[in-house]
A and B are shown apart, each in its own frame.
Chain A
Amino acid sequence: MLKRFLKKHGWRYIPGFLFLLISSYITTLAPIALGHAIDYMDMDASLIDKNLVYRQAGYIILIAAGVFVTRYIWRYFIIGNSRFLENFLREELFVKLENLPVSYLSKQRSGDLMAYAVNDVGAVRMTFGQVVSMSVSGLSTAVMAVYSMVTEVDPKLTFLAMLPVPVAIFIIVKLGGIVRRKFRRVQALFSELSGEVNETIMGVQVVKSFAKEKERLEEFSGISKTMFDANVNLADTSSLIWPSISVVFGLCYAIGLVVGGHMVLDGSLTVGALVTFNGSLLLVQQPVMSLGRIINMLQRGLASYKRLQLILEQPGIPEEELEDAKEPVDGDVEIRNLTFRYPGTENDALKGISIHLPKGGTLGVVGPTGSGKTTLMHLLLKMYDVPPQSIYIGGTDITQIPAKAVRERAGFVPQDGFLFSASIRDNIKFYQPGATDEQMIRAATIASVHTDIAGFPDGYDTQVGERGTHLSGGQKQRIALARALIRNPQLLILDDTLSAVDNHTEQQILGRLADYYDGRTTVIVSHRLSVVRHAQEIVFIKDGQIAERGTHDQLMAQDGLYAHMYRQQEEGGDCDA
């Protein structure tokens, strides 16, 4: 998945790494310059060459300026590239999500899909930015620092002082692993605790009505205490890392001081060289200290990379489905002996469904929850792979028509009345941003929601969604209906769209739809039989099969499931005033 990114942005790594290496090199020069300055002053006052000392002071400033410039450049190229990568991956992911078939999306939990966008993209970015640059710059600086210790100071001294370093690396790798494990436990507990907070607050009324405040608090306090223990346990281990590394390096410094000090007395080393040595040792210590963080980020990054790869490699909707139709799609809808099974399941969701829906006709679909009504609607919209030779539009097999063309002619109104966080205007004009306000108001009027909207202080500019005004379920459903109507669809699909609308408004909407929809094809799914009563044909679906079919009167005369359900609904009628 990175090929396209590297092709476009990969070149940045070349100047990036080049300047990074230069930067590391310059960094290791600083202790040398300081050592030289000290050496030039370590003699009788009359012998000191002023220019030499000044020159070293100048070098020290130049070196810092050099580090400033090179570091800025490499960070811009390497870390900057990780930001480009983040941008690239996020867009790839978004495009992918938009092109994944509904059959795949509906199997995923939305929280998991969000985690890709939020956590995984971030973790991969860190790997390609921080991890790559920290390890390369740490390694090169450490190697160059050791090199300057060997050449500028003394090989034997360097070797002796470096002896303890592997121990530090061992400790950091070993303890780092344990800390990571304990940290994961703290994180897991943390989300459990947050969950408990959420639950308790959301359900506070239940807790109160059962007078169980005390017991609930005890449970919460128990989890909080576990969290306390886990955190302290983590701290007990993690508090070891930094001090033990500093002890190991303390030993390196001490060896350097003692051995190096005696070498100075022997005359085999200058004081300045010893200062250089101390400064260079610090340049070795810093990368070792950051090793733990590098490993941590790398592990997370790799895991996230694998997860992202998995979703980005999912086959999307094929290209040909997104083309325009070669010829106009219109005419009767015919379902011939349709049998459908969701991929990966063992039972047929729909079995042997045959329906003829003439152009301009109205079909009512009723039946118990889970009988397959919504599945049938999704197949009419080609949301899933429809088996060949089972659905025809105007005599053409739906599998031969691009999904885009199928959907273009349809207006779909889902059960939950899903709206986007935007103004009501934008929501209704979702399909046709260019639609006029007259068209919008007309659609809203037919959907019997215009009066509601006009009553809001901001009218059609009222913001809805998470941060917006709270709309009732019925209002949402009716706005979603207006959204479908504005596209003037040839096929209108109402998937239990009026479930939260009261009886009076429901009849009003149906009446207006009948006037407006003269000559258009309509499919109405409903639990409430009053909604489908006037349809030209009503099918009663049970367990994925058509159990009964006919007009309302025929079905009542038949005295079967439909008639039974109708009578029940009559009896249990509403008594809300």
Chain B
Amino acid sequence: MRKHNPSSILRLAKMMKPYRKYLYFVFFCVLVSNLGVLVKPYLVKIIIDDFLTSGLPQHGLYSITGLGISYFLVVLLSAGFTMAQRRTLARFGQSILHKLRTDVMDHILHMPITTLDKYGSGRLITRATNDVETLDEFYSDILVTLFQDVLLLISLIFMMVQMDWQLALVAFTGIPAIALITILIRKVLKRNFELMKAIIGRINGFFAENIAGMRIIQAFNRQKNKLEEFRQLNESYLKTTIIQLKLHSMLRPAMEVVNSMIIALLIWFGYHRIVGDFGGTAVLELGVLYAFTDYVKQFFEPINELAETYTTIQSALVSADRIFSLLDEKNQEDPLAGDWDQPIVGKVEFRDVWFAYDADNWILKGVNFTVQPGEKVAFVGSTGAGKTTIINLIGRYYIPQKGTILIDDVPLERWKLKALRGGISVVLQDVFLFVGTIADNISIHSDLSEAQIHQALEVSCADEFVEECGGLKGEVTEAGMNFSTGQRQLLSFARAIARNPAILVLDEATAHIDTETEQMIQTSIAKISKDRTSIFIAHRLSTIQTCDCIFFLEKGKIIEQGNHEQLMRQNGKYADLVRSGQQE
């Protein structure tokens, strides 16, 4: 079995603290409605024993009618409390869930990029959805069920012992049998269920993949082979489901058999008591016998639920471990960030900057450069030379191990993060668009006027196709798939300049797109980089040639710098690169 972090249980309990009043009330309701379950058979017992078999005189409430009415009132009362219990429980569970969801999200949003990279988006999504749901089940269901079941079992036992301890002992002989059968069958059920889940997962995966690859399957005439593969999976799933069915069909009837055996045993024992075989004067009242048959029936449900709860608690603990370890991650990008909060003018300077993602594997080795406000510069060099790293450092997504980076002559660590990032727009290679409208995607939660958005779209050459796609209100579907790669690029340009940043950092996309769009992107780049400091990670000659300065990076160092003409004259690595690129 998995070893759990013991503090997870404590923290699960701590999460409930602000809402504990709800929980107390729920427990109170459970107590009251539980009382109803116990009292009802007892009332019937009194009717049977006192009036029906002994014929005692009835007066007032102490009469068949009076007890009948009391019976109904008890039902009414426990129904009322059951309702209140469910409503309160929903508020309790949902409050915690809401808090947990927002906490996890808050945490993820504020984690440094390094930590985000460590987790990967897939795992983060699982934490924020599946694991949170599992805990929801814990708070909204398991916790109270556990209380309810234990309470019911204890009070059933108490009630029975109180009424007739000898008969109670007879009835309790069934409990180990019930527990044993339940646990055994459940164990096999669980194992088989895991298998079922694994196979159905594969079947669904198979389906998804074949839907995606149907063109290939048909183009290669492979339908028969795929069908064969599918049949095997489908058959093995059928087998496991039939096993599951057989086990399930046994569980409850097996309990009924045990119950009936206990009832038969009670009748047998009761008979001997009535005829006085056990000596003494203790006579058995028939009403007690009846009440016992009623109580015995109620044993199975809580035991069955407890057996089930055990596995759910385990998975809740696994999820709790995961969520808490996520929440323990540092969620402040730069704990020492200063409070320099001035609008950026646009000067960027690197002074002997050294950086490594992993210890000792230096990506940047003493990089020095200065970009004056309004200048356009480009970084070129082979993959892994450290071009993208420079972008990550300027926005302080990563912190260099050595050296200083300055914006407007102020070291980055003295800047307030919001002010820093607010003045620098970064365009990444992979464009991510949010589901929503075009306007949402341009403004990204900023209060921009329609006119500002229109202008941004116009400058970035995106206005034409946006008009065709329904204007600012035009829909953006998942990952912006309703736009072509080129259109997504242009939208990301518009988004970057809409808030008029002093510094634009652009990682040019490498993908080949058709020439017309390519032209548009080039025009757009020229327009959006006007009047602001622009730093390009360039992949295209046409972008570089107009730059004020080009830095050639190799193995983490700037080995050549100057404008296109200067570098060509220098006849070094840059010149080589340009010539080989043009050979195409």
Contacts and interface: CB of A to CB of B under 8 A. Distances in A.
A110 B478 CA distance: 13
Nearest to B576: A577
B256 A203 contact: no
Interface of B: 40, 44, 47-48, 51-53, 55, 64-65, 67-69, 71-72, 74-76, 78-80, 82-83, 86-87, 89-91, 94-95, 97-98, 101-102, 105-106, 108-110, 113, 116, 121, 124-125, 128-129, 203-205, 207-223, 225-227, 230-231, 234-235, 237-238, 241-242, 245-246, 248-250, 253-254, 256-257, 259-261, 263-265, 267-268, 270-271, 274-276, 286, 289-290, 293, 380-383, 395, 397, 417-418, 420-422, 424-426, 428, 432, 434-435, 444-446, 479, 484, 499, 510-519, 522, 538-542, 544, 573, 577-578, 581-582, 584
A201 interface: yes
B268 A412 contact: no
A407 B271 contact: no
Contact of B102 (A34, A48, A58, A221): A221
A95 B205 CA distance: 16
The 8 closest A-B pairs by CB, nearest first: A250-B75, A235-B90, A64-B260, A243-B79, A258-B68, A215-B445, A239-B86, A261-B64
B220 A407 contact: yes
Contacts of A278: 44
A573 B541 contact: yes
Nearest to B424: A209
A45 B421 CA distance: 93
Contact of A212 (B268, B446, B510): B446
Given A239-B86, A421-B205, A219 B445 contact: yes
Interface in A64-84: 64-65, 67-68, 71-72, 75-76, 79-80, 83-84
A421 B205 CA distance: 9
Contacts of A235: 86-87, 89-91
A80 B239 CA distance: 10
Contacts of B235: 87
Interface in A186-210: 193-195, 197-210
Nearest to A62: B260
Given A208-B395, A220-B102, A257-B68, 9 more contacts: A98-B214, A209-B395, A239-B87, A242-B86, A254-B68, A257-B47, A572-B522, A575-B539, A575-B544
A126 to B, nearest CB: 13
Contacts of B290: 38, 275
Contacts of A220: 101-102, 105
Contacts of B89: 235
B274 A407 contact: no
Given A243-B83, A576-B382, A204 B109 contact: yes
Contacts of B382: 576-577
Nearest to A108: B211
Nearest to A264: B52
A71 B539 contact: no
Contacts of B276: 45
Contacts of B270: 41
B518 A114 contact: no
Contacts of A227: 94, 98
Interface in A428-467: 430-431, 433, 465-466
Interface residues of A, number: 141
Contacts of B72: 250-251, 253-254
A113 B286 contact: no
B245 A383 contact: no
Most buried by A among B211, B230, B422, B522: B211
Contacts of A99: 223
B209 A420 contact: yes
B445 A257 contact: no
Interface in A496-544: 499-500, 503, 527-528, 530
Nearest to B267: A57
Contacts of B245: 75-76, 79-80, 83
Contacts of A110: 208, 211-212
A407 B221 contact: yes
A302 interface: no
B444 A212 contact: yes
Interface in A29-50: 30, 34, 37-38, 41-42, 45-46, 48, 50
Nearest to A498: B512
A90 interface: yes
Contacts of B293: 34
Contact of A487 (B128, B220, B274): B220
A209 B249 contact: no
Contacts of A94: 207, 210, 227, 230, 234
Interface in A215-251: 215-217, 219-221, 224-225, 227-228, 231-232, 234-236, 238-240, 242-244, 246-247, 250-251
A203 B492 CA distance: 13
B154 to A, nearest CB: 22
A466 B444 contact: no
A250 B207 contact: no
B204 A118 contact: yes
B129 A194 contact: yes
Contact of B444 (A60, A210, A232): A210
Contacts, number: 397
16 contacts: A53-B267, A56-B267, A57-B263, A71-B249, A79-B245, A97-B211, A200-B108, A208-B395, A212-B446, A232-B91, A246-B75, A258-B69, A430-B220, A572-B522, A573-B541, A574-B581
B249 A72 contact: yes
A258 B444 CA distance: 70
A547 to B, nearest CB: 13
Contacts of A56: 267
A572 B512 CA distance: 11
A410 interface: yes
A54 interface: yes
A243 B417 CA distance: 55
B253 A68 contact: yes
Nearest to B436: A199
A348 B246 CA distance: 58
Contact of B125 (A84, A201, A262): A201
A110 B578 CA distance: 44
Interface stretch (A135-143, A168-176, A385-393, A562-570): A562-570
Contacts of B78: 246
A118 B200 CA distance: 9
Given A37-B267, A220-B105, A195 B435 contact: yes
B584 A262 contact: no
A466 B209 CA distance: 9
A264 B101 CA distance: 60
B464 to A, nearest CB: 15
B220 A257 contact: no
Nearest to A569: B515
A391 to B, nearest CB: 16
Contact of B257 (A68, A236, A430, A565): A68
Given A205-B113, A213-B110, A420-B213, A265 B97 contact: no
Interface in A371-398: 381, 383
A18 interface: no
Contact of A87 (B101, B109, B234, B578): B234
B258 to A, nearest CB: 8
A213 B55 CA distance: 77
Contacts of B484: 369
Given A208-B421, A572-B542, A67 B253 contact: yes
Given A45-B275, A87-B238, A207-B109, A114 B425 contact: no
A255 to B, nearest CB: 8
A325 interface: no
A576 B510 contact: yes
Given A257-B68, A465-B209, A575-B577, A407 B256 contact: no
Contacts of A560: none
B204 A117 contact: yes
A38 B289 contact: yes
Contacts of A250: 71-72, 74-76, 79
